[in-house]
Amino acid sequence: MLNARTTHAFHIFDDKILAIGGFDDDGNGMLSIESYDIHSDQWTILTSIPGAISKTWPQSLGTVNRRIYISVFHTSNSFIVMQEGYFFDLDTQQWIKAPVVHERARYCPTVQLRFPKKFLRSMQTNSISSLGATSNNILLMNS
């Protein structure tokens, strides 16, 4: 990665790995999303999470189709907390304002995504197959 970070999230799409958010060595929230191209073995800054105040960090992350959902917290020196949600469209490289996670779940680092059962059956990953034939939920966790 170009910038050392901890408690960030990863997302894989096409032949790229995204490192999203996290904290730097001083404990500051990181707004950058870095992209690693496996063919060129190179990291680049893809974008930054919008709406920054003095400290911003991603709280929840999930993907639907080619959109990444990010729920972020913003805090200021007066400890005012504001939560916002965004989709990042991987095709258009644009941010779209989205609904936020419900208040009771705001500190939970997971996003629950619902998919049709036929979609789940077509997936060939261990995590999907372990959900069972009757399930239509996927939980993605922030690392």
Domain-located, residue 131: no
Q: Are 73 and 57 in contact, with CB atoms under 8 Å apart?
A: yes
pTM to 2 decimals? Answer: 0.63
Domain-located, residue 134: no
Q: Are 57 and 72 in contact, with CB atoms under 8 Å apart?
A: yes
Q: How confident is the model at residue 81 (pLDDT cuts 50, 70, 90)?
A: low
Domain-located, residue 123: no
Tokens of 131: 């959900």
The number of folded domains in the chain is: 1
Residue where the block lists tokens 């730097």:
24
**Model confidence pLDDT, tens digit, residues 87-114:** 899 899 999 888 776 655 555 544 455 5
Which residues, at least 6 apart from 93, have a Cβ–Cβ distance to it below 8 Å?
46, 47
Computed from CA positions of residues 51, 55, 59, 63, in that sequence, does the dihedral angle turn out positive or negative? positive
Domain-located, residue 138: no
Domain-located, residue 141: no
DSSP annotation of 87 reads: E
Domain-located, residue 40: yes
Domain-located, residue 142: no
Mean pLDDT value across residues 58-77: 74
